[in-house]
């Protein structure tokens, strides 16, 4: 079987959250340039951005770049890259205005006719623009609307990244080993036909989001299986800070709805965490109480759950906000909980910490450039160093926006010096496996990966747990790699292969780092 099609594009972007979409939008300003924007889902909006509730940092009253920088550095537990933080704090607010508000026409919530700013944990100022409690939905859907109108952006849905196309690895001429390694495109599986498309591009951007689905419980959508991180790792690209996996302190604990996020802005607006005895416990762990940085709050909750009889703690809105305020400010959370039988205007919400954000990733510079020539990484799959060991709330959408802009500017300035690799110089995809993958095996392998990560690479880690994690994941990776080679390609097997590879990247980094900082907390 060889129904391969070679596509030639100037820019290949994989991932359609804020980072991928803004990069595409900015690059489409070069009228002679064609951009291919790819998502593995049938629905282009399926990305973590769509599920972001809290909002995006801008600049609130009596605020400044210096104040924001200070808050980021404190949350990051001393491990942030100050150069990257300066870029974000200085450039970010203007880009929110120019790109999101003026160009894309995102409508943030207002009060008395002017933009309203909210606060979340570890922020010293109200500086977050939001749209009630579904800010990401507003941003993502508006971005996609604009992108769909651009003639030089081709959108490819239902296509899953198999591997980056790199030289000399995929070169036909073996003498390419004498040249520098570079990325020249990607192999994509058409999920519907099972055919592989080889895409050749001058610049390749990974914007595939994080790794949430490699854990048992996560706020991330189903599509977030670590595809970009795994592909980069296979291509030998530098990855840093991979051990820093952030848990969101408050996701809904409920039998019928897994992992629904209860935005930190709920605490920002005054709600409090209480244990099963109704006690305000967070001050025991940090003087900032329920508004301490996320890593501290998540560990506080973990500790209370360990000491108590219940598997959750409570988030109390009703004692601190009026019914009307709750319903208007948090309509999605109110309605979702009410549908499950919890009236949050009268009852407390049972909550637990779940995996939320990967602070580490593909090492990139101030323009989103990775260690591999032609390859850029943006948003959660990347590590600019802005977040250090723990991300400040509502900073992720901003980082995606800022680095998408930085990368687009860099590509615009340098694209004329880049050439496409010749089609006949790269190997076409070799189909090997023919068997149909057994879904029961895929499900069980996923369960194994997820429970190893949850139990051994979780909120609290130990050397013994991490050693086991690395051993178990190495075994699983070998088995899954063989499985992948034996079967006919489909999206499920590709996601599993990415999942186990990304899980191993995180577990190995955690095992190597014996020092606790931010969200890497190790007890011995």
Q: Which residues are catalytic?
A: 294
Closest CA to 266 of 342, 347, 346, 326: 326
* Token pair for 63: 């605020």
Of 73, 27, 75, 89, nearest in space to 414 by CA: 27
Binders of ligand SIN among 155-174, rule CB under 6 A?
none
Span from 262-270, 336-344, 369-377, 476-484 in contact with ligand SIN (CB under 6 A): 262-270
Q: What is the DSSP string of 359-426?
A: --EEE--TT-B-SSBTEEE-GGGEE-SSSTTSPPTT-HHHHHHHHHHHHHHHHHHHGGG--PPPGGGB
Encoded one letter per residue, x for contact with ligand SIN by CB under 6 A and - for no contact, window 351-370 reads -----x--------------
Using CB under 6 A as the binding rule, whether residue 34 contacts ligand SIN is answered as no
Distance CA 13, CA 28 (A): 12
- Ranges within 52-81 binding ligand SIN (CB under 6 A): 52-54
* Under rule CB under 6 A, residue 513 binds ligand SIN: no
Per the CB < 8 A criterion, the answer to whether 218 and 225 are in contact is no
Q: Which is nearer to ligand SIN, 393 or 487 (CB)?
A: 393
* Count of other CB atoms within 10 angstroms of residue 114: 7
CB of 315 to ligand SIN, least distance (A): 11
Q: Which is nearer to ligand SIN, 19 or 442 (CB)?
A: 19
CA gyration radius for the chain? 22
Count of beta carbons in the 10 Å neighbourhood of residue 68: 27
Looking at the Cβ atoms of 10 and 264, the one nearer to ligand SIN is 264
CB of 258 to ligand SIN, least distance (A): 17
Helices (H), 128-226: 135-148
> Per-residue x/- mask for ligand SIN, residues 222 to 261, rule CB under 6 A?
----------------------------------------
CB of 231 to ligand SIN, least distance (A): 25
**Site residues for ligand SIN, window 363-422 (CB under 6 A)?**
393-394, 396
Query: Cβ(203)–Cβ(11) under 8 Å?
Result: yes
- Angstrom CA distances, 405 to 18, 83, 137, 176, 412, stand at 11, 16, 21, 33, 10
- Report the residue closest to ligand SIN, judged by CB: 54
Q: Which of residues 212 and 226 has its CB atom nearest to ligand SIN in the complex?
A: 212
Residue placing its CB nearer to ligand SIN in the complex, 275 or 394: 394
Minimum CB distance to ligand SIN smaller for 68 or for 372: 68
Cβ-based nearer residue to ligand SIN, 231 or 348:
348
Contact string (CB under 6 A) for ligand SIN, positions 264-303, x = contact:
xx--------------------------------------
Size of the site for ligand SIN (CB under 6 A): 10
Q: DSSP secondary structure string, 242-279?
A: TT-EEEEEEEE--TTSTT-B--HHHHHTT-EEE-TTS-
- Report strand pairing: 239-240 vs 361-363: antiparallel
Strand 349-358's sheet: what is its strand order? 245-252, 349-358, 313-316, 272-274
Rounded to a whole number of angstroms, the minimum distance from the CB of residue 250 to ligand SIN is 7
Q: Nearest distance from residue 56's CB to ligand SIN, in Å?
A: 9
- 28 contributes a contact to ligand SIN by CB under 6 A: no
Report how far residue 116's alpha carbon sits from residue 127's, in angstroms, rounded to the nearest whole number.
Answer: 9
Name which position in 263, 290, 354, 502 contacts ligand SIN (CB under 6 A): 263
Q: Is 218 in the site for ligand SIN (CB under 6 A)?
A: no
Token digits for 226? Answer: 């670590």
Task: Give least dist CB 394 to ligand SIN, A.
Answer: 4
Q: Which residues contact ligand SIN by CB under 6 A?
A: 52-54, 263-265, 356, 393-394, 396
């Amino acid at each position: 079987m060889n129904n391969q099609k070679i596509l030639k594009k100037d820019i290949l972007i994989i991932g359609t959250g804020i980072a991928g979409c803004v990069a595409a939008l900015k690059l489409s300003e070069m009228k002679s340039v064609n951009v291919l924007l790819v998502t593995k889902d049938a629905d282009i909006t399926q990305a973590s951005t769509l599920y972001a509730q809290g909002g995006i940092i801008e600049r609130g009253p009596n605020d400044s770049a210096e104040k924001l920088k200070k808050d980021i550095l404190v949350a990051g537990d001393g491990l942030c890259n100050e150069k990257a933080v300066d870029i974000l704090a200085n450039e970010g607010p203007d880009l929110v205005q120019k790109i999101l508000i003026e160009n894309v026409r995102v409508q943030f919530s207002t009060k008395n006719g002017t933009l309203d700013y909210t606060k979340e944990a570890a922020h010293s100022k109200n500086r977050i623009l939001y749209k009630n409690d579904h800010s990401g939905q507003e941003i993502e859907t508006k971005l996609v609307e604009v992108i769909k109108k651009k003639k030089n952006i081709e959108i490819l849905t239902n296509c899953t990244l198999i591997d980056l196309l790199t030289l000399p690895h995929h070169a036909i001429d073996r003498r390419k080993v004498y040249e520098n390694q570079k990325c020249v495109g990607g192999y994509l599986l058409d999920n519907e036909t099972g055919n592989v498309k080889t895409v050749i591009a001058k610049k390749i951007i990974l914007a595939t989001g994080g790794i949430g689905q490699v854990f048992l419980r996560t706020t991330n959508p189903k599509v977030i299986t670590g595809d970009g991180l795994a592909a980069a790792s296979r291509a030998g690209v530098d990855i840093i800070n991979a051990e820093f996996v952030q848990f969101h302190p408050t996701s809904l604990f409920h039998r019928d709805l897994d992992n629904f996020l209860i935005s930190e802005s709920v605490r920002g607006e005054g709600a409090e965490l209480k244990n099963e005895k109704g006690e305000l416990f967070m001050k025991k762990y940090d003087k900032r109480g329920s508004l301490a940085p996320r890593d501290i709050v998540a560990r506080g909750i973990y500790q209370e759950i360990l000491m108590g009889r219940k598997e959750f703690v409570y988030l109390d809105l009703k004692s601190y906000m009026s019914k009307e305020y709750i319903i208007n400010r948090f309509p999605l959370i109110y309605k979702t909980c009410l549908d499950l039988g919890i009236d949050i205007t009268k009852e407390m919400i049972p909550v637990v910490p779940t995996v939320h954000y990967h602070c580490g990733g593909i090492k990139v510079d101030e323009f989103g450039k990775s260690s591999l020539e032609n390859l850029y990484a943006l948003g959660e799959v990347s590590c600019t160093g802005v977040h250090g060991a723990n991300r400040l709330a509502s900073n992720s959408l901003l980082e995606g926006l800022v680095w998408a802009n930085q990368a687009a500017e860099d590509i615009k300035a340098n694209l004329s010096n880049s050439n496409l690799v010749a089609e006949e110089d790269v190997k076409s995809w070799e189909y090997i496996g023919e068997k149909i993958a057994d879904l029961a095996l895929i499900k069980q392998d996923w369960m194994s990966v997820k429970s190893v990560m949850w139990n051994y690479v979780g909120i609290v880690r130990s050397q013994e747990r991490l050693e086991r994690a690395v051993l178990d994941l190495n075994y699983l990776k070998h088995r899954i790699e063989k499985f992948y080679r034996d079967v006919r390609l489909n999206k499920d097997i590709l996601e599993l292969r990415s999942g186990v590879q990304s899980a191993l990247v995180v577990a190995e980094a955690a095992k190597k780092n014996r020092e606790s900082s931010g969200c890497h907390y190790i007890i011995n």
